A and B are shown apart, each in its own frame.
Chain A
Amino acid sequence: DAKTTQPNSMESNEEEPVHLPCNHSTISGTDYIHWYRQLPSQGPEYVIHGLTSNVNNRMASLAIAEDRKSSTLILHRATLRDAAVYYCILQNDFGNEKLTFGTGTRLTIIP
């Protein structure tokens, strides 16, 4: 499985933008980049995904590098409810069905 690398933890002030980085230097052409987050005592929650182009939805934006070897999840205005562990995962269009989670980035929001 193609692997991703994320910082173990990050902090951000409430109501400010947050940029969560992910490196995936061994990404293949058919790998989609997915982001999930996990709030305390809950299951993971799908946030956003993309293949080559930047993506926006109501939760976040995903910026994908031109060479696709890295991506950044952007929370435009962090709230206390965004405090969670964020996972960056590659999901192949033709390969394994399982999601391979790393340890993710634990995001702390400072009031």
Chain B
Amino acid sequence: DTGVSQNPRHKITKRGQNVTFRCDPISEHNRLYWYRQTLGQGPEFLTYFQNEAQLEKSRLLSDRFSAERPKGSFSTLEIQRTEQGDSAMYLCASSLMQGGEQPQHFGDGTRLSIL
């Protein structure tokens, strides 16, 4: 178990630029989740995948955001035309299967700063 890996750890970009983050889940986990966390708040759900299918998207996920999980392995989260309000920590998590007993395993996130 090598854990959930996220890259990059930090990203600084100018407003209006596009950014892409990558998440590599624990290898046997078929569920993958994206969350966003702003300072002083708990993480907020953005979207999740079961294998390659994106099954739920939060209203927080505006049309500037897109997530993919090709082949049901790693996932990418892209933000187009970044805005100041996009500055946050973006967290990825994975879990083995459905059910209330299954914990989610989180990566250490990508911190995005918009100049």
- Give residues in A with beta carbon < 8 Å to B: 30-32, 34, 36, 41-46, 49, 51, 85, 87, 91-94, 96-104
Q: Given A93-B99, A103-B40, is A43 in contact with B48 using a C-beta cutoff of 8 Å?
A: no
**Interface CB pairs A-B, < 8 A, 17:** A32-B101, A43-B4, A44-B93, A44-B104, A49-B101, A51-B100, A51-B101, A91-B100, A93-B101, A97-B48, A97-B56, A97-B98, A98-B33, A98-B56, A102-B42, A103-B40, A104-B42
Interface residue B16 (Cβ < 8 Å from any Cβ of A): no
Cβ–Cβ contact B107 & A98, under 8 A: no
Cβ–Cβ contact A103 & B100, under 8 A: no
Kindly provide the distance from the CB of A84 to the nearest chain B CB, expressed in whole angstroms: 13
Interface residue B67 (Cβ < 8 Å from any Cβ of A): no
A31–B99 Cα gap in the complex (Å)? Answer: 10
Q: Mark B75-115, 1 if CB is under 8 A from A, else 0.
A: 00000000000000001010000111101111111000000
Query: Which residues of A sit under 8 angstroms from B91, Cβ to Cβ?
Result: 43-44
Interface size on B, residues (CB 8 A): 27
Query: Which residues of B sit under 8 angstroms from A91, Cβ to Cβ?
Result: 100
Cβ–Cβ contact A31 & B100, under 8 A: yes
Q: Given A97-B33, A98-B33, A98-B56, is A44 in contact with B43 using a C-beta cutoff of 8 Å?
A: yes
Closest A residue to B103 by CB, please name it.
Answer: A46
- Given pairs A97-B31, A98-B48, A99-B33, 14 additional interface contacts (CB within 8 A): A43-B91, A43-B93, A43-B107, A46-B104, A51-B100, A85-B42, A92-B100, A93-B99, A94-B100, A97-B48, A97-B55, A98-B58, A99-B93, A103-B41
Query: Which residues of B sit under 8 angstroms from A31, Cβ to Cβ?
Result: 100
Cβ–Cβ contact A43 & B109, under 8 A: yes
A12–B101 Cα gap in the complex (Å)? Answer: 30
Cβ–Cβ contact A43 & B106, under 8 A: yes
Cβ–Cβ contact A99 & B43, under 8 A: yes
Cβ–Cβ contact A49 & B103, under 8 A: yes
**CB proximity to A under 8 Å, residues B11-65:** 31, 33, 35, 40-45, 48, 55-56, 58
